[in-house]
Structures are given as C-alpha cells and as structure tokens.
Amino acid sequence: MRKLKNEELNRATVEEFKIANKFPLVLVLDNIRSLSNIGSVFRTSDAFAVDELVLCGITAQPPHREIHKTALGATESVSWRYVESAVEAIQELKDLGYTILSVEQADKSVMLNEFFPKKNVRYALVFGNEVHGVDEAIISLSDACIEIPQWGTKHSLNVSVSAGIVLWDILFKLK
C-alpha cells in the first residue's frame, strides 16, 4: 500500500467542477461567527459536490484571508450567495420546493441515523450559530430537525464537523 500522489487523484478543475452534476443539497449557514468554520464548510461542500451554500446574517463572505486558509480554494469552486435574512433565504428555498432540515437539538428532532432522505427530493440543510444554534424562527419554518446522536457530556459539535457528518450520512444514504 502507498499514499496516492496528487496527480493520481483525478481531481476536477474548477471549471469542470462548476459544470458537473451536483447533489440537490443547499447548505444555509446562519450567523456563523468563525471564519475558519465558514472556510471548512466551503471545503466540505466541494468534497461532497453540494449544489450551493447560502450565507446569512453575520456569516462572513469570501474573499477573506481567514476563510481562504481553511477553504483552500473551495470558495472558487462552490456556488454561493449571501442573503442577509436567513428567514428570507429559507422562505425562498421553500418556494423553490426545497425540504428544509435544520440541524439542531429539538423536542421533535429525528436522529440522523434514523433519517432516510428520499431520492428526487431537494434538501436545504440549516446550520446555526456556534453558541446559540439554529434560530427558533428558522426551526418553526423547517420541515424537520435532524440531530446527530452523541453520547458524551458536551452534546455539542463544531458546526463544520456537524456539516461533514450530516453531509456524508445523507449522501451515503442517497447513493
């Protein structure tokens, strides 16, 4: 066994990635304060061929040196836009036929391992502020909340880690 060289990975160019088929997933980042988390979600979105990122509220936007440090160029490949109000963004996505899933601990949340996405359904996944989570107004607009099962004492994961776990799980189930 040996580690593959970069030229053996068959990476798409930015231009090839932009025109390639994407998964029908939109990620909404609402009031994410850490520039490193934002960059990391860009990079994860590239890895999983997410259709779009919607940045809302205080979530910083590229270009920004601190975002770039963790995104490693994914701000150029991943389609993104800024909408000041997450409520407005969610309503727009609902009007376009997206099923809204907030990733949050809620009284009626569905554990991620018990959530089975449907093929041919377009999902928007909402990730909230690192301290306060997904805003209650967004939860009330959501079709469901999904929660990552946890067994430790913190019951809290970094938002970029949560995005990676949820994306991998949903896309694995869809494939």
Residue found by looking up tokens 């088929």 in the block: 21
Torsion of CA 4, 51, 75, 71, to 10 degrees: -50
| 78 φ, ψ (degrees, to nearest 5) | -85, 130
Closest CA to 83 of 156, 138, 9, 30: 30
Res 175: pLDDT: 86
Res 73: pLDDT: 96
| 110 φ, ψ (degrees, to nearest 5) | -105, 130
Q: What is the pLDDT along the chain (175 residues), one digit of tens a residue?
A: 999 999 999 999 999 999 999 999 999 999 999 999 999 999 999 999 999 999 999 999 999 999 999 999 999 999 999 999 999 999 999 999 999 999 999 999 999 999 999 999 999 999 999 999 999 999 999 999 999 999 999 999 999 999 999 999 999 999 8
- Per domain, the residue ranges of the chain are 20-174
Residue found by looking up tokens 């809204």 in the block: 100
Per-residue tokens: 167: 């994306």
Q: Which architecture does CATH list for 20-174?
A: 3-Layer(aba) Sandwich (3.40)
Closest CA to 75 of 93, 58, 60, 90: 60
Q: Is the pTM of this model over 0.85?
A: yes
